[in-house]
Amino acid sequence: MSLLPILRYPDSRLKTMASPVVNIDEKIKRLVKDMAETMYEAPGIGLAATQVNVHKQVIVIDVSEARDQLLVLINPELVECDGSQIGEEGCLSVPGIYDKVERAEHVVVRYLDLDGVTRTIDAHGLLAVCLQHEMDHLKGKVFVDHLSILKQTRIKAKLAKQARITA
């Protein structure tokens, strides 16, 4: 396994729409392993393939305290959502930035697992937020896109300044 480089906002590649996975082969299984290692090392609770510049509909998530309940979603599809919650979000592609985002409180997502079996997950709270956040990445959106233009401009400026300092 190897750690993958995570794209940083406002990298235009984060706007790329991910295409469905047609065949769950060894290449996809390797991608999932590398994404999981990258997510755990970062550390984060979710990572979409788009964030590592692979534009396939693949997500890894682990919201467990022990970090031992990896959820792999291939070709995830939002089947149902209801309710509303506002919570502070962050993103591995937008390091050090957190802001409040409104999301559905409850979601049902259909997806394929690593064996190609169709599964459904019924999620509330943090897992529901994480699913929506990561599925946004597959559509070329980052959580910053849910914020005002003013906040987006400030975040871009702050990240540009950080990049200059670390360069």
C-alpha to C-alpha distance for 132 and 121, rounded to whole angstroms: 12
Which is nearest to 58 in space by CA: 82, 25, 89?
Answer: 25
Catalytic residue from among 26, 37, 102, 134 = 134
**How far is Cα 26 from Cα 10, in angstroms, rounded to an integer?**
31
Q: Which amino acid is at 127?
A: L
Cα–Cα distance, 111 to 76 (Å, whole number)? 4
Determine whether 41 is an active site residue: no
Q: Are the C-beta atoms of 144 and 151 separated by less than 8 Å?
A: yes
Tell me which residues are annotated as active site: 134
